[in-house]
Structure 1
Amino acid sequence: MTTTLLTHDDGLKHVTPPGHPEQVARLERVRAALAGKDLTHEEAPLATEDDLRLTHPQAHIDHIKSSEPSEGIIQLDADTWMSPGSVNAALRGVGAALRATDLVLAGDTQNAFCAMRPPGHHAETQKTMGFCLFGTVAIAAKHALERHGLSRVAVVDFDVHHGNGTQDLLWDEARTLFVSSHQFPLWPGTGRSSEIGAHDNVINVPLDPMTDGETFRATYEERVFPRLGAFAPELLIISAGFDAHRDDPLAQLNLLEDDFAWVTNRLCDITDKHCQGRVVSVLEGGYDLDALASSAAAHVDVLIARG
């Protein structure tokens, strides 16, 4: 089997203000770090409005599309900006996750990594947040459930910020298990252990500032892997944010590349047992460019080895 990389140059056309952490260089550095690896390559397709409506109402879609400027950049909220090309970049991000899901479920590839931007895990049902326009991984989960007929889809988010958007979009979806480990307290302020979803289908794992790899690993062994194994997912989708790295400027966790490789390997152990190793991974955060590139490479190296 193989590992497929899905990306598109449209991800480079979403422009943010100078000094903004979610910058074009993020995708450039990730793609450079993956160059030459044993990957099958596919261009990310554009998602359709029908795809977006799996989680978002038409009003939200219309708002995003009508907000895109014809020139310059505009601000949607405190953190989220748009430029000409932002809509297509976001649609390619969703399209990458959907195409990756199709490929993995068809058995055409063992697993897949979607290298696109902007990220998606903070976008709520009708609200942009935290650099995000559409809830990419939640849309992919609903795609697997509604269009592929799966009964159980797990989403694991190890980005340093709580995946509040994914939680919002999957809160009432009993066929999903959403797991988010994240620094707490930290923006966006959600993600307490008491937030468990409408069907006990949400697991939040708050981590204290300065948490190191040893504590991170022990916490996953104790709180995440048993629940994930009991859920027995038919597909695992990963929100792969690398801003829990010790060098990241936006947070204060102390993970290293080996920790991201370790959690990827352990997640693959679970998918090997329950769903033939089917994994779709989607790039989320990571804002120190060197740490982002090396961490993404470590993550993808594991996917390749497990493919």
Structure 2
Amino acid sequence: MDTMYITHPASHLHEMGALHPDSPKRIDAISDQLIMSGLMPYIDNCHSSLRASDEDILRVHTMDYLNYLRNHIPKKGSYHTIDMDTIMNSYTLDAAFYAAGAGLLAIDSVFNKQVNNAFCATRPPGHHACSNRAMGSCFFNNIAIAAKYAISRYNLKRLVIVDFDVHHGNGTEEIFANDSSVLMCSFFQHPFYPDTELICSQNMCNIPVKAYADGSFIRNIVTSRWVPSIKLYRPELILISAGFDAHIEDDMGQLNLNESDYKWITDVLVDMAEKYSSSRIVSFLEGGYDFSSLGRSAVMHMRSLARL
């Protein structure tokens, strides 16, 4: 099988209150749609990820920050609120270590030629987490941890991070600004959360778009801005921050994409990976809060990864 689906039971134990949009049910929505679509028999289904080590985390985050999280693990049945969007329960840090570890398992799997690509459906998400700060429901920056691991373990010189979440992947941008080993390409609604300024850096192709931009507008950005940058860069690996909250049915944002747009974007990236990175892609779940559109979009994303 050419595509791996990675999740972990710890993702269900991390929760931030009954009304918080980043619910454990998001993982169920994806797995349910994978089963209903008939796709599950055609992918390598892995329900046990590695647990990241402190060394893996500290390639990206500071020791002071890791110690802060450890010192604020709440007791059973209680919460520690970092900000209004970012809340810890007693299982959160454990889930975060396994979410980061899913990316490491995926990296090893694609470089050991077990699969061409992988989708990590874990929580908490990661792309808002900065080197020394949790925010936006993110504690560890999973995609950055995977990128640093791949560079260290497999001596990579060039990798691409693509982020199509409706929100700016500010943490990933902060971590890799001016790092020539990483090219980051993204679009995101602006002005919108997290309202952070773009970092001016030659290795960033991050494009703010206005509310209500539709799929044709986004496809033009991919074709005219992302693709030429990626072709010139010739990455050895493509990583994806796969947020599905730019979907027209998702009330968390105001962009007007649909599941066919996510498939089209993924098709473009799969084509690029086949040309430049021996088909190697690792994708990470970020946003997506309307269960129905999340599940349908993730299925289309995985159909494209699996070439089905």
Using the size of structure 2 for normalisation, the TM-score is 0.95
Partner SS, residue 266 of structure 2: helix
Q: For residue 155 of structure 1, report the CA deviation from its aligned partner.
A: 0.3
Match of 2:179 among 169, 173, 178: 173
- The reply to whether residue 40 of structure 1 matches residue 72 of structure 2 is no
Q: For residue 190 of structure 1, report the CA deviation from its aligned partner.
A: 2.7
RMSD, aligned α-carbons: 1.2
Match of 1:3 in 2: 3
Q: For residue 7 of structure 1, report the CA deviation from its aligned partner.
A: 0.7
Match of 1:234 in 2: 236
Match of 1:54 in 2: 59
Q: For residue 196 of structure 1, report the CA deviation from its aligned partner.
A: 3.3
Distance 1:30 1:208 in 2: 28
Q: For residue 28 of structure 1, report the CA deviation from its aligned partner.
A: 1.4
Match of 2:260 among 258, 261, 267: 258
Distance 2:223 2:233 in 1: 15
Match of 1:19 in 2: 19
The one-character-per-residue Cα deviations of 1:241-268 (angstroms, maximum 9, x if unpaired) are 0000001111100000000000000011
Distance 1:220 1:184 in 2: 17
Q: What are the within-5 Å matches in structure 2 for residues 65-76 of structure 1?
A: 65-71=70-76, 72-76=78-82
Q: For residue 64 of structure 1, report the CA deviation from its aligned partner.
A: 1.2
Match of 1:196 among 195, 200, 205: 200
Distance 2:87 2:282 in 1: 27
Any gaps of 5 or more consecutive residues in structure 2?
Answer: none
Match of 2:121 in 1: 115
Contact 1:196/1:203 (8 A) holds in 2? no
Q: What are the within-5 Å matches in structure 2 for residues 43-192 of structure 1?
A: 43-71=48-76, 72-190=78-196, 192=198
- The reply to whether residue 271 of structure 1 matches residue 276 of structure 2 is no
Q: Which amino acid aligns with 2:243?
A: G
Distance 2:73 2:30 in 1: 26
Q: Which amino acid aligns with 2:11?
A: G
Match of 1:30 in 2: 30
Q: For residue 41 of structure 1, report the CA deviation from its aligned partner.
A: 2.1
Distance 2:307 2:72 in 1: 42
Q: For residue 34 of structure 1, report the CA deviation from its aligned partner.
A: 2.1
Q: For residue 191 of structure 1, report the CA deviation from its aligned partner.
A: 5.5
Q: Indicate how the Cα distance of structure 1 residues 191 and 262 shifts in structure 2: closer, same or farther if over 3 A, else same.
A: farther
Any gaps of 5 or more consecutive residues in structure 1?
Answer: none
Partner SS, residue 209 of structure 1: coil
The one-character-per-residue Cα deviations of 1:259-298 (angstroms, maximum 9, x if unpaired) are 0000000011111110111100000000111111111111
Distance 1:17 1:253 in 2: 26
Distance 1:181 1:140 in 2: 21
Q: Which amino acid aligns with 2:25?
A: A
Q: Which amino acid aligns with 1:299?
A: H
Contact 1:162/1:191 (8 A) holds in 2? no
Contact 1:122/1:128 (8 A) holds in 2? yes
The one-character-per-residue Cα deviations of 1:199-238 (angstroms, maximum 9, x if unpaired) are x111111111000011110111111110011110000000
Distance 2:167 2:208 in 1: 10
Q: Which amino acid aligns with 1:230?
A: L
Equivalent residues, number: 302
Partner SS, residue 295 of structure 1: helix
Q: Indicate how the Cα distance of structure 1 residues 141 and 228 shifts in structure 2: closer, same or farther if over 3 A, else same.
A: same
Using the size of structure 1 for normalisation, the TM-score is 0.96
Distance 1:116 1:202 in 2: 26
Partner SS, residue 76 of structure 1: strand
Once the two structures are aligned, what percentage of the paired residues are identical?
A: 37
